[in-house]
Copies of this chain bind each other. A is one copy, B any other.
Amino acid sequence: MAWLDRNQQRSWRAFLVGTTLLMDRLDRELREQHRISLPEYEIMVRLSEAEDNRLRMAVLADSVSHSRSRVTHTVSRMEAAGLVVRDACLSDGRGVEAVLTAEGRKALEDAAPTHVSGVRRLLVDLVEDEDLEAVGRVFDAVTDALIETNPAMDFR
Chain A residues with CB under 8 Å of chain B are: 1-4, 7-8, 10-12, 14-22, 24-25, 28, 42, 64-66, 113, 116-117, 119-124, 126-127, 129-143, 145-147, 149, 151, 156
Contact of A138 among B2, B18, B24 (CB under 8 A): B18
CB proximity of A55 to chain B, nearest CB, Å: 16
- Chain A to chain B contacts (Cβ below 8 Å), 17 pairs: A4-B124, A8-B132, A11-B132, A12-B136, A14-B137, A14-B139, A15-B139, A16-B42, A19-B139, A20-B65, A22-B142, A28-B151, A127-B138, A130-B134, A131-B134, A131-B138, A135-B135
Q: Name the residue on B nearest A117 (C-beta).
A: B1
CA distance A146 to B121 in the complex (A): 10
CB neighbours (8 Å) of A140 from chain B are 14, 18
Say what secondary structure dominates the interface of chain A: helix
CB neighbours (8 Å) of A17 from chain B are 64-65, 139, 143
CB neighbours (8 Å) of A25 from chain B are 146, 151
CA distance A133 to B17 in the complex (A): 15
Say whether A21 contacts B113, CB under 8 Å.
no
Contact of A135 among B65, B122, B138, B143 (CB under 8 A): B138
